[in-house]
Structure 1
Amino acid sequence: MTFLGLVVLLLLTFASLTSSCTEDEQSSLLDFLAQLSPGSDGNLRMSWMHGTDCCAWEGVTCRGDNTVMGVSLASKGLTGSVSPSLGNLTGLMNLNLSHNSLHGILPTELVMHNSIAVLDVSFNHLTGPLKELRPLNHNLPLQVLNISSNFFTGQFPSTIWGAMKNLIALNASNNSFAGQIPASICKSSPSFSVLDLCYNKFSGNIPPELGNCSMLRLIKVGHNDLSGALPHELFSATSLEHLSFPNNGLQGVFDGSQVVKLNNLTVLDLGSNGLRGKIPDSIDRLRKLEELHLDNNLMSGELPSTLGNCSNIRYINLRNNSFSGELSKVNFTLLDLRTADFSLNYFTGKVPESICLCSNLIALRLAYNDFHGQLPPRIGNLRSLSFLSLTDNSFTNITNVIQILKSCKNLTTLVMGTNFNGETMPQDETIDGFENLQILTLDGCPLIGQIPPWLSKLKKLEVLDLSSNRLTGLIPSWINRLELLFFLDISSNMITGDIPMALMEMPMLQYKKNSAKLDMKFLELPVYWTQSHQYRMLNAFPSVLNLGNNRFTGTIPPEIGQLKMLNVINFSSNGFSGEIPQEICKLTNLQMLDLSNNHITGELPSALSGLHFLSLFNVSNNELEGPIPTGAQFDTFSNSSYGGNPNLCGALLSNHCISVSSHQSSISQEHKLHHALIYGFVFGGLAALALLAFFLIAKL
């Protein structure tokens, strides 16, 4: 047993000698640790201890010869700076410090390291320019450089890129780099394959030299300040699979004959530029195309029927162009199509029957075109359809549309205002379905009738817009049973009566904790409330109660103070009377309060000045009196917020309030004058009587 114990001890000793990293490498790693902020080092100090084997430290990997080969510390919550001492790890090949909070500069010792092949410092707070230095090694081994999502500035240092002959992928997106796109990358790096420069400040033209990148598979330079046309040379890079230049200032004609040379293309994104031209008939040569983004350009013409041959296409966005003609010319038997946005164009005719065969369609937007007629009945077979926007067309027969769409069991967003001109709102209580509907807009139609009872069944409804119709009657008592509803707009109708107590008991408007019940997922397509105002998530919508421009009467109930989550109140242009309840001052989340054009009396509550988020305030054309609120944002509102209330006073108004001291002084002066007049009359009278007595005595 003693002999076996000795053998085990010798083996353990030998193992510890052979697995231990060098003193220099241990010291370099500890220098890096020392630059991290105490308490924000990801508990590395529990593992990285002097005198222990650094090859066993957390995040550190070594080769068989015990040299450090990799340091991987992603998402550790690290703060502090990046120590250049890591550059002393002569065998380091992989350094990953991504998704932390490191600040300061990126040491050039790491960028120009003689062995690092993969360097990832993305999603940190690193700053400053990348220094223009001439590396000693003109054949740097770096293959992947990810410096995205930091705060880097300045231009790309051309001398460094010239030495990166092995570079394959560069991701510098989401920074503040400026100047021109480096044109020499592919010349110096023949295997270069991935370039992502999105969300920076690059300007100038797209360098034609990128066409020499024979291995380039992905290029993304969206959201910059690029100008000019797409260079023809770019279409020589026939290995391209992903070509993306959205949100720039590109101009010129979209040359389809050049684009279709890229027959490996899966993603083509040229949205939000100034491109003109048509989609070519040869678009079907892009057999692998999965995404086509040409939105927000100046393109025109009819869609080629050959678009229906792009059988792999999943996403089409042609929004906000001048495309015209009938969609029915395209055979939409595209089984992989998930999202299609044809809005804000000049498409005419009816919705094509073939679109009902896109069995995997999730989102369809046809808004702001010249479509007419009824929806094809088979659109109710789109079981995956979640988002449908029909706004501002000339669709008819709303009853039929409701009956068709109730079969779309996954429908969560239904936007179809400005259609069904003057039809009657369906009142059939037996209408069911829509069990997953979260957004419903039927504004500006203008529909007649009442708020329909079938809406009470939509238990998941969060946003309801019935504004600008000709609806009559009362707000239904079941409104508070829509437990998730937090956006209600019934403005510009002919609804009457008092504000019902049910409206003051809306659960989502009462308690902050209820907001956790809202769906946190992104919408399949953004909902555009205005041309420039869009929402991508339901919980981004403001909490709104808009009753403006109706025929409501009575007073504003004090129970309104319960709706603490409200952002917007609009009770304007009704027949409300009485005073503004003090309880309204409890709504500290209010951003807009409009009570204009009513018959409201009394004084404005001074506590309104405590509504610090208020950016719009209007009580004009009422019968209010007394001083207007002062302080904070109330000092920024114009006098138009108070016009038509002649008895209001304040510094902003022509009618200045009399201060208490001045008022008391005025009263005191009046009292003195009054007393003086009395004394004058008394003493004057006595003097007159005395004089009369004197004359009488003299006569006697």
Structure 2
Amino acid sequence: MKQLQMLDLSLNNLRGTLDTCLGNLTSLRYVDFTFNFLSGNVTPFIAQLRSIEHLGIAFNRFEGIFQFNILANHSKLKELLIGNMKVETENPPWVASFQLEVLQICDCELNLPTKIPTFLSNQSRLRILDLSGNNLVGKFPSLLLMNNPNLQEVYLFHNSFTGPLELPFDQNHRMDQTKVFSISNNKLLGNLPYNVGFFFPRLETLDVSNNKFDGPIPASIGEMSSLVELFLGSNNFSGNVPDHILNRCFSLQTLMMDNNQLNGTLLSAIRKLRLTGLTASRNNIEGAITDEWCQHELFMLDISHNKFSGSLPSCFKMPAYLFLQGNNFTGMIPELFMSNRSKATAIDFSENKFTGTIPDSVYKLWSLKFLLLAGNHLQGQISSQICQLKLINILDLSKNNFSGSIPACFSNMSFGNVTTPFYITDRAKFGPRPDLAVMQLITKNLYLSYRSDRFQLLSELDLSCNELTGEIPHQLGDLHGLHSLNLSHNHLSGLIPESFQKLENIESLDISYNNLSGQIPFQLQDLHYLAVFNVSYNNLSGKALDKGQFCTFDGSSYKGNPYLTWTNCKSDSSKPPPLPTLLHDDEEEDSEIDFNAFYWSFATFYVMALAALVTLLWMNPHWRRVWFYFAQVCLQKCFGQFLHGLQF
């Protein structure tokens, strides 16, 4: 097929190297191998594509360093996509004969030490520029914007640009075509330019998150009438939530301003906008969720760790991701509120003051994967209806007042037995991921944050710090995908189920502070991924396990079990004996040591030793002279200076 002009094999699972016969396809104008697993050296193939206009080789496993000088004679090249490669654009020197319209160099080792490619200074027709994930350093490259007035999309996120964001201030420079401007995850600081809204009048996506910007949010953002997505999170913006953003941003659908120092309320945003995504966590925002919030059909709402209070209105429509953690919400969780959404994915009401029981409508949210209600005042028995949530990955009901027994039907829930598509976890993609939610979880005794593309790989069941009674259901051993199980601080009794042996992926197992008895099942030594194990303060007996992962656990995992002994494999020492207790005066008489006999025997020995020394010196003149000589030398060394002074 020597006349073939277009070859698109992107987004497959192709492996191996490129066949040499592909070099015969000299008529190719469009080639795309992106997102495969191809290896080998791609340079000889590309060098022969003199007619190429679109070249995509990003995100494979190609070897060696890609030298840009092989493109010096590719005068027709317009679109170039490179990713996950070692790239050298400077050496040896070369001159570009092409004018690119699309350039994407992503997640590469670019020009070590990293710097902006110099050939870009001669490019003036760029529509899409993506240099994300290359750890580029230096000041923000404003010249790229000046030289390419037709830029539509600019992706410079995940680099190390420092200093302020400098934009032209004169009236003759506007980026009228730019729709996406993403500079997140850099080290830019200072105020966001006051004219950012004037400079990008038709912007649809503005992402300046994860930098060090401070001060107020510029009022000119309110002039972006086409703005759909605004990401301001993880900076140091201060002041009240700005009403000026809402003046003309009537197209705004996603507003993310979490991890700042903002004050005030969100009432203006709720009244004037029709948002689908709102995150404002970890600020100082206050207020309540009123009936005005009911007009929104949000996909994601995250207002965790603020100062919200009051009860939840029953008319509020359930988002797919709802995070209210760490506020002062009170009252009961409304039934209607929980039943309004059939595609709910994550609910986090932890660390509030909710009362009552879990609404029955929760059990009808069949798509729910994450339910976190820890740290409230919920009570009652854990209904077996909760097992209808078969897709659940993380269930945290800890720090409440739940009573009764643990439902055995938990074994019918997934808890990690769900395969995540490979393209979510293993493959990169061009552009940012603003749709990712963030969840805070306690894993292995650590409080960590996870993005939604990662916490779907976790699985946890936490029922700790409640009033649960009865035995631990042996059916819990059927949760093969479970990573963390915490049943501590309850009133559970009976034996540790031998079925826990089947928890093959368990990393953290905490059943401390209960009334469990019997021995630790020897079958648990097959849990090869166990990193945290705690059975302290129970009534366990016998000897703890000393093989496999159990060699790494010390006495803190077993203390509070008076009839349980353990061995530290590293030092091969037994359980240390208790420290001796000091005797009171009234107990000294019962001591095993007779101090009167001790004093008399010591005095007798001292007198006998002294008499033997005097007898030896009196009978033997030689030893007597040695003794007096030794005494004279000692006196001279110890008091010689004092005795010498007396002679004068």
> What TM-score, normalized to structure 2?
0.75
Number of residue pairs matched?
A: 554
Q: Which residue of 1 aligns with 2:80?
A: 145
Asked whether the equivalents of residues 227 and 251 of structure 1 are also in contact (C-alpha less than 8 Å), the reply is yes
Where does residue 582 of structure 2 map in the other structure?
Answer: none
Instruction: Please tell me whether the aligned partners of residues 615 and 633 of structure 1 are also in contact (alpha carbons under 8 angstroms).
Output: yes
* Structure 2: runs of 5+ lacking an equivalent: 426-432, 442-446, 576-648
Aligned counterparts, 1:620-699, within 5 A: 620-646=536-562, 647-652=564-569, 656=573
Superposed CA offset, 1:32-66 (max 9, x none):
xxxxxxxxxxxxxxxxxxxxxx35xxxxxx2xxxx
Letter in 1 for 2:322: L
Q: Distance in 1 between matches of 2:475 and 2:290?
A: 51
Please name the residue that 1:251 is paired with: 189
Alignment of 1:536-685 (within 5 A): 536=452, 540=456, 542-646=458-562, 647-652=564-569, 656=573
- How far off is 1:503 after superposition? 2.4
- Alignment equivalent of 2:161, drawn from 220, 226, 233: 226
Which of 295, 309, 315 is residue 254 of structure 2 equivalent to?
Answer: 315
> What is the alpha-carbon distance in structure 1 between the residues aligned to residue 415 and residue 178 of structure 2?
53
CA gap of 1:99–1:391, structure 2 versus 1, over 3 A, is: closer
Partner SS state of residue 255, structure 1: coil
Closer, same or farther in 2 for the Cα pair 1:511/1:321, shift >3 Å?
closer
**Quick one: distance in 2 between partners of 1:212 and 1:395?**
52
Equivalence map 1:76-475=2 (5 Å): 77-82=13-18, 86=22, 89-107=25-43, 110=46, 113-131=49-67, 133=69, 137=73, 140-148=75-83, 150=84, 152-157=85-90, 162-177=95-110, 178-182=112-116, 184-210=118-144, 211-233=146-168, 236=173, 238=175, 239-308=177-246, 309-330=248-269, 332-335=271-274, 337-351=275-289, 356-358=294-296, 361-374=298-311, 380=316, 385-398=319-332, 402=334, 405-406=337-338, 409-410=340-341, 412-413=343-344, 438-451=345-358, 455-475=362-382
Change (3 A) 1:269 1:179: farther
Specify whether residues 515 and 181 from structure 1 end up closer, same or farther in structure 2 by C-alpha distance, changes over 3 A only: closer
What's 1:503 paired with? 408
Range 72-81 or range 628-637, more displaced: 72-81
> Structure 1 511/270 Cα, relative in aligned 2: closer, same or farther at 3 Å?
closer
Residue 526 of structure 1 is matched in structure 2 by 437
In structure 2, distance between residues paired with 1:97 and 1:130 = 15
Cα distance, 1:562 vs structure 2: 3.7
Q: Read off the aligned partner of 1:144 and give its amino acid letter.
A: E
CA distance in 2, matches of 1:508, 1:162: 61
Summarize deviations over 1:462-484 as a string: whole Å, max 9, x none. Answer: 44333333444443354445544
Q: Take 1:652 and 1:82, find their aligned partners in 2: how far apart are those partners? A: 53
For the Cα contact (< 8 Å) 1:194–1:217, is it kept in 2? yes
Secondary structure of the structure 2 residue equivalent to 1:533: strand
Superposed CA deviations along residues 606-643 of structure 1, whole A, max 9, x for unmatched, are 22110122221111223333332233322223332222
Q: Is the CA contact 1:209–1:234 (under 8 Å) kept in the aligned structure 2?
A: no
Task: Give me the whole-angstrom Cα distance separating, in 2, the residues matched to 1:72 and 1:133.
Answer: 24
Amino acid at match of 1:394: N
CA distance in 1, matches of 2:72, 2:357: 80
- Distance in 2, matches of 1:173 and 1:96, equals 15
Amino acid at match of 1:168: E
Write the letter of the residue equivalent to 1:212.
Answer: N
Q: How far did residue 243 of structure 1 move? A: 1.1
Deviation for aligned residue 1:461? 4.5
Q: 1:107 offset after TM fit, Å?
A: 0.6
1:292 offset after TM fit, Å?
A: 0.9
Q: CA deviation at 1:410?
A: 2.6
Preserved CA contact (<8 Å) 2:174 2:198: no
Aligned CA distance change for structure 1 residues 280 and 453 (closer, same or farther; 3 Å) = closer
Instruction: Please list the CA deviations of residues 164-222 of structure 1 after superposition, one character each: whole Å capped at 9, or x if unmatched.
Output: 43211111213333544425444322212211122233223222321322222221021
The alpha-carbon distance between structure 1 residues 135 and 651, as it changes in their structure 2 partners (threshold 3 A), is closer
Contact 1:566–1:587, Cα closer than 8 Å, also in 2? yes
Cα gap change, 1:194 to 1:482, in 2 (>3 Å): closer
Q: Which amino acid is 1:410 matched to?
A: R
Q: CA RMSD in A?
A: 3.7
CA distance in 1, matches of 2:209, 2:525: 45
CA distance in 1, matches of 2:415, 2:269: 49
User: Which amino acid in the other structure matches residue 622 of structure 1?
Assistant: N
Q: 1:356 and 1:556 mapped to 2: Cα distance? A: 42
SS at match of 1:576: strand
What is the rounded CA distance, in whole Å, between the counterparts of 1:288 and 1:542 in structure 2? 38
Following superposition, the deviation at residue 275 of structure 1 comes to 1.1
Aligned to 2:624: none
Going from structure 1 to structure 2, the CA distance change for 1:117 and 1:396 (only over 3 Å counts) comes to: same
Counterparts of 1:494 and 1:245 in 2: how far apart (Å)?
Answer: 46
Unaligned runs of 5+ in 1: 1-53, 56-61, 63-67, 414-437, 659-700
Between the two proteins, what is the percent identity of the paired residues? 29
> CA contact under 8 A between 2:128 and 2:154: conserved in structure 1?
yes
Give how far 1:231 is off.
2.5
Q: Distance in 2 between matches of 1:279 and 1:297?
A: 11
In the superposition, relative to structure 1, how do residues 369 and 228 fare at CA in structure 2: closer, same or farther (>3 Å)? Answer: same
Partner Cα distance (1:527, 1:111) in 2: 44
Does the 8 Å contact 1:480/1:503 carry over to 2?
no
Q: Structure 1 residues 546 and 303, CA, compared in 2 at 3 Å: closer, same or farther? A: closer
TM-score, normalised to structure 1, is 0.70
Q: Do the aligned residues in 2 keep the contact of 1:467 with 1:490 (CA within 8 Å)? A: yes
Query: One-letter code of the match for 1:362?
Result: F
- Between the aligned partners of 1:134 and 1:234, the Cα distance in structure 2 is 39
The residue type equivalent to 1:650 in the other structure is T
- Determine if contact 1:270/1:294 at 8 Å carries over to the other structure: yes
CA positional deviation for 1:119: 1.2
Counterpart-to-counterpart distance in 1, 2:380 and 2:363: 16
The structure-2 alpha-carbon separation of the partners of 1:574 and 1:74, relative to structure 1 and needing over 3 Å to count, comes to: closer
Return closer, same or farther for 1:292/1:410 CA change in 2, 3 Å cut-off: same
